[in-house]
């Protein structure tokens, strides 16, 4: 079955420290990977995506993610966390099942403490 | 720049009542989606419309119907609401059904069925 997993329900980090939000996937064929962020009482917003090419993808708000094919991972990273980064983060994979559809992970809540 | 607009934002229904969630996008996107978000379960696809004139079931279509009224509008109907349909509903759209296409979300509709 094609799936995406976010192994941590919650990640806590101090402001100014680096942050990592983990994501692993299981798909047949080439993976098309996305990160979205959801702030309280809002819809999801696109952060970044990996389609092909460089394994390190840079996105909005200083976030980046590294595609690792051997580990089937696409972890989200930021060198220096801000309190305003506190939100719910979703990893997603787009798969072709006779038509493309997007599978979302369960989400990881990030708390950045001042 | 409105993007994806959905109404109502909040609704309380009694079991057995019916209602329609409205959604419109102004980005000239071909594909539109309805998701529900429940704690710890991420986003689950209810129905989608790959293009005007077509609709297809997603992961959790039971209890729902949809109408792609035109290219801009995609409505979700609950014919006989049940407490299990208490959730946050998100309408979304994307340019087309390709692998790398980003999904754009509305702000969400909070539905409570009592």
- A74-100 per-position pLDDT tens digit: 999 999 999 999 999 999 998 877 667
Q: Does B32 touch chain A (CB under 8 A)?
A: no
CB-based contact, B88 to chain A, within 8 Å: no
- Write the pLDDT tens digit of every residue in B50-105: 888 899 999 899 999 999 999 999 999 999 999 999 999 999 999 866 667 889 99
Q: Tell me how far CA of residue B86 lies from CA of A23, A106, B44, B92, in angstroms.
A: 28, 18, 14, 19
CB contact under 8 Å between B99 and A32, yes or no, is: yes
- Listed range (A52-56, B6-10, B38-42, B53-57) with the worst mean pLDDT: B38-42
Q: Rounded mean pLDDT of A28-34?
A: 87
Q: Over the stretch A52-72, which tens digit does the pLDDT of each residue have?
A: 889 999 999 999 999 999 999
B111 closest CA partner among B8, B12, B6, B7: B12
Pairing assessment for the beta strands A64-68 and B10-13 based on DSSP bridges:
unpaired
Can you give the pLDDT at residue B99? 67
Kindly determine whether residue B99 and residue A94, on different chains, have CB atoms separated by under 8 Å: yes
CA A29 → CA A7, A19, A91, A97, distances in Å? 23, 29, 18, 11
| 3-state secondary structure at position B80 | coil
């Amino acid at each position: 079955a094609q799936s995406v997993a976010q192994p941590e329900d919650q990640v806590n980090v101090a402001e100014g420290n680096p942050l990592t939000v983990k994501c692993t996937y299981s798909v047949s064929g080439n993976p098309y990977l996305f990160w979205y962020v959801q702030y309280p009482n809002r819809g999801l917003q696109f952060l970044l995506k990996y389609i092909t090419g460089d394994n390190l993808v840079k996105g909005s708000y200083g976030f980046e993610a590294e595609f690792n094919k051997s580990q089937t991972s696409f972890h989200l990273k930021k060198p220096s966390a801000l309190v305003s980064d506190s939100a719910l983060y979703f990893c997603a994979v787009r798969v072709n099942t006779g038509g493309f559809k997007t599978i979302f992970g369960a989400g990881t809540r990030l708390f950045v403490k001042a | 720049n409105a993007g994806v607009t959905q109404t109502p934002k909040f609704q309380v229904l009694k079991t057995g009542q019916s209602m329609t969630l409205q959604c419109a996008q102004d980005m000239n996107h071909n594909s539109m989606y309805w998701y529900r978000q429940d704690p710890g379960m991420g986003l689950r696809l209810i129905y989608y419309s790959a293009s005007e004139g077509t609709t297809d079931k997603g992961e959790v279509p039971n209890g729902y119907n949809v109408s792609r009224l035109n290219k801009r509008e995609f409505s979700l109907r609950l014919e006989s609401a049940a407490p299990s349909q208490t959730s946050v509903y998100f309408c979304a759209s994307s340019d087309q059904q390709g692998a790398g296409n980003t999904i754009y979300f509305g702000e969400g509709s909070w539905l409570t069925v009592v």
